[in-house]
Amino acid sequence: MKKHNFSAGPCILPQEVFQKASEAVLNFNNDHLSILEISHRSKPFVDVMEKARSLALELLGLEGKGYKALFLQGGASMQFLMTAYNLLENKAAYLNTGTWSDKAIKEAKLFGELVEVASSKDKNFTYIPKGYNIPTDADYFHCTSNNTIFGTQIKHFPETEVPMVCDMSSDIFSRQLDFSKFDLIYAGAQKNMGPAGTTLVVVKEEILGKVSRTIPSMLDYKVHLGKDSMFNTPAVFPVYVSMLTLEWLKNFGGIAAIEKINEQKSTLLYNEVDRNPLFAGVVATEDRSHMNTTFTLTNDSLSETFDAMCKEAGINGLNGHRSVGGYRASMYNALPVESVQVLVAVMQALEKKA
């Protein structure tokens, strides 16, 4: 039975990526060895790493602009720490738009003064703060582009003179932006880029090397850059699958092409949430995420019926984050429009039944 996978991450990847990845576990590069048993220093894998790094820059339109890409371990959570370790000398400015920003702030506080320029905590992170000021003497400004848990997304990034750092874990490669506005972008792979276990870091080299502390090797971007993202054994398979996914996106037409599909999917679902009296959106309309749609039932007593109908239709991963409840439909790049159509059909069927 066909599954419709709305998981918030790790999440659906293109079927052809699963196919190629599965084959490579048995026979990679037609060398009759598994991708899991080859040296990370072998030419076939070095080629994979280099291709993944250059595809990331190419898709973001950042080639030849002073940026480099790294595939590190530890997820965005490790980046909360590494960004501060590498960039925070005196003071940093953070925008607080939810759980992930909150965690990033907590880790950065160990390294210097933190200025929370704005927060939407007052309304349980259901909107994106606007019109805040970023201190011009901050070492950098940090924000989270998309909030998986609450379903909000920054549509307009602030103008600022200070380096801009952005956690794009849950919407990177999903929409066109002027990525050159950012000085450091990081993203755990497990949404639009690949499986869990690797993290993309795209950094403008000129912002590094400015803090006075000694940075441990594994936390030092310059160390990783100096070794072309091979300072130590990388997460070979997650990097390989990320490369396959980036390749798939390039063949698809890149970010411009996938953005159209993503808009189609989110329009379809938000329209139904707004139209159907049994459902209600959770967040401010203008800040709605195109990746994660959060919604609730207006009548809680229907939840068992709705859950059963979803299951019957092959819908997976629709439960809201354990910290907020309700429903959440994550519609990452690889989710077909058809899956959203199936979900909308179930929502309409519930309305008829109720």
Q: Does the annotation mark 191 as catalytic? A: yes
List the one residue from 40, 121, 155, 250 that touches its own copies (CB under 8 A).
40
Assess whether 248 carries a catalytic annotation: no
Q: Which is nearer to its own copies, 75 or 151 (CB)?
A: 75
Query: Do residues 282 and 294 make contact, with C-beta atoms less than 8 angstroms apart?
Result: yes
Binding residues, as ranges, are: 41, 76-77, 100, 148, 167, 190, 232-233
Residue 160 and residue 134 in contact, taking contact as beta carbons nearer than 8 Å: yes
The binder of its own copies chosen from 49, 62, 70, 81 (CB under 8 A): 81
Between 9 and 129, CB nearer to its own copies = 9
- Binding segment for its own copies among 62-70, 194-202, 246-254, 282-290 (CB under 8 A)? 194-202
State yes or no: residue 39 binds its own copies (CB under 8 A): yes
Is 32 a binding residue for its own copies by CB under 8 A? The answer is yes
> Is 100 one of the annotated active-site residues of the chain?
yes
Candidate residues 57, 219, 261, 309; the one interacting with its own copies per rule CB under 8 A: 219
Q: Is 237 in the site for its own copies (CB under 8 A)?
A: yes
Q: Does 25 bind its own copies (CB under 8 A)?
A: yes
Task: Looking at 130-253, list the stretches that DSSP marks H as alpha helix, in order from N- to C-terminal side.
Answer: 221-226, 236-252
Q: At what angle do helices 43-59 and 236-252 cross, to 10 degrees?
A: 40
Q: Does 227 bind its own copies (CB under 8 A)?
A: no
Nearest to its own copies of 18, 157 (CB atom)? 18
Q: Which residues are annotated as a binding site for pyridoxal 5'-phosphate?
A: 76-77, 100, 148, 167, 190, 232-233
DSSP alpha helix (H) spans, the chain: 15-26, 43-59, 75-87, 99-108, 221-226, 236-252, 254-275, 303-312, 337-353
Distance between CA 148 and CA 146 in Å, rounded?
Answer: 6
Catalytic position from the list 68, 171, 183, 191? 191
Per annotation, catalytic residue among 68, 139, 167, 248: 167
The CA-atom distances, in angstroms, between 142 and each of 160, 185, 247 are: 11, 10, 29
How many C-beta atoms lie closer than 10 Å to residue 334's C-beta?
A: 22
One DSSP character per residue, 43-86 reads HHHHHHHHHHHHHHHHHTT-TTTTEEEEEESSHHHHHHHHHHHH
Q: Find the part of the chain contacting its own copies (CB under 8 A) among 31-39, 173-181, 201-209, 286-294.
A: 31-39
Q: Is 256 in the site for its own copies (CB under 8 A)?
A: no
Bond preceding residue 10 cis, omega within 30 of 0: yes
Torsion of CA 50, 51, 56, 59, to 10 degrees: 140
**Total residue count of the chain as it appears in this document:** 354
Query: How many residues touch its own copies (CB under 8 A)?
Result: 64
The torsion angle over the Cα atoms of residues 338, 340, 341 and 345, rounded to 10 degrees, is 140
Where in the sequence numbering do the catalytic residues fall? 100, 167, 191
Residues that bind its own copies (CB under 8 A): 1-3, 5, 7-13, 18-19, 21-23, 25-26, 31-34, 36-41, 73-78, 80-81, 103, 106-107, 110, 188, 190, 194-198, 214, 216-219, 231-238, 241, 316-317, 322
